[in-house]
């Protein structure tokens, strides 16, 4: 079968399975199977596929037709211009999380040798993007999932950042309770409430790790302890920066006791949806008479 015929029948098959952007998905999977780029697909429409290529392409299409995200099939996702490996043990890094990286880089300007910790590191995308940009930073990445940490460590090695980013298993910040004085606690925690499961895309519900997505009834079961433990981990004047869900702005700001936190900032994403909340640990707690 010729490449153009394989592509055309793949598009039909994905369309019939109700997969969004069927052409893009058919191309991504064919590029993956053949180990070529998009330009090659367009330059060689008449290239014959071998029987083995055809059968591998069919396998990936069958997986995609079940709703499995293409990133779990190809094992890759780009984030912050870097190539990350992903598996079903980690959340697929999202473009909107780059707002969190941008926010931290902005706040870190002028801070020499900043010490940062990324809580719920997953693939390691935030910790590694920050370490890539901040060459003098000391970076930690924590996750409750050992399987996720394996992927994060593999990504650190591929990006040659393994000597500068330290990964450890931890429930929120508990494992680092003796490493204090952070300049930044950064996190894209799970923040979907169980009650909101029906608002989450089916592919997320069915294929991404449950503990990477859901956090209790209202979505606050990780952010709550995070705010509390971040206060202890940060140096005075240090920053907490957290990605939030589309309707969580007020609930998260409500967790930031104004006697402990100041300079609260909310950063919107490109659609104007509040995406990041950042707050600075007060240097001195104001005296408030009872
Ligand atoms: C939304 S994902 C974010 C992954 C990655 N940082 C990203 O932005 O793509 C949340 C991560 O938090 C981890 N996690 C969930 N509960 C946790 C907890 N109590 N302590 C530490 N990590 C937790 C999950 O395993 C998951 O990797």
Report the C-alpha gap between 151 and 146 in whole angstroms: 9
Q: How deeply is 125 buried, as exposed, middle or buried, from its count of CB atoms within 10 A (0-12, 13-18, 19+)?
A: buried
End-to-end CA distance of the chain: 80
**pLDDT in the model for residue 63:** 97
Residue nearest to atom 4 of ligand 1 (CA): 122
Evaluate: CB of 148 within 6 angstroms of ligand 1: yes
pLDDT value of position 155: 98
pLDDT along the chain (290 residues), means of 10: 96 96 97 96 96 98 97 97 98 97 96 97 98 97 98 98 97 90 97 90 91 93 97 97 93 96 95 96 77
pLDDT for 198 equals 87
| pLDDT at residue 246, as a whole number | 85
Question: Residue 120 Cα, ligand 1 centroid: separation in angstroms?
Answer: 3
Ligand 1 site, residue 171, Cβ cutoff 6 A: yes
Is the Cβ atom of 121 under 6 angstroms away from ligand 1? Answer: yes
Pocket test for ligand 1, best of 76, 91, 171 (most atoms within 8 A of CB): 91
pLDDT for the residue 203? 87
């Amino acid at each position: 079968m010729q490449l153009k015929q394989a592509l055309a029948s793949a598009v039909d098959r994905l369309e019939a399975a109700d997969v969004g952007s069927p052409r893009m998905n058919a191309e991504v999977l064919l590029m993956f199977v053949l180990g070529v780029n998009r330009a090659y697909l367009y330059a060689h429409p008449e290239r014959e596929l071998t029987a083995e290529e055809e059968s591998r392409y069919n396998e990936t299409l069958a997986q995609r037709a079940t709703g499995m995200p293409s990133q779990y099939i190809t094992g890759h996702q780009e984030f912050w211009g870097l190539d990350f490996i992903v598996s079903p043990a980690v959340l697929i890094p999202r473009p909107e999380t780059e707002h969190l990286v941008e926010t931290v880089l902005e706040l870190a300007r002028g801070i020499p040798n900043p010490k940062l910790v990324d809580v719920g590191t997953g693939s390691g995308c935030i910790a590694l993007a920050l370490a890539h940009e901040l060459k003098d930073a000391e970076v930690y990445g924590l996750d409750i999932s050992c399987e996720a940490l394996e992927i994060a460590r593999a990504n650190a090695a591929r990006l040659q950042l393994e000597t500068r980013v330290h990964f450890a298993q931890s429930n929120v910040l508990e494992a680092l309770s003796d490493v204090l004085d952070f300049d930044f606690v950064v996190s894209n925690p799970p923040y979907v409430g169980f009650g909101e499961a029906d608002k989450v895309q089916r592919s997320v519900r069915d294929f991404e790790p449950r503990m990477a997505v859901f956090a209790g009834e209202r979505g606050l079961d990780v952010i709550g302890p995070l705010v509390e433990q971040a206060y202890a981990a940060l140096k005075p004047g240090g920053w907490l920066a957290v990605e939030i869900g589309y309707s969580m702005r007020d609930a998260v700001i409500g967790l930031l006791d104004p006697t402990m936190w100041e300079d609260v900032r909310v950063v919107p994403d490109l659609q104007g949806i509040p995406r990041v909340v950042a707050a600075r640990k007060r240097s001195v707690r104001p005296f408030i008479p009872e």
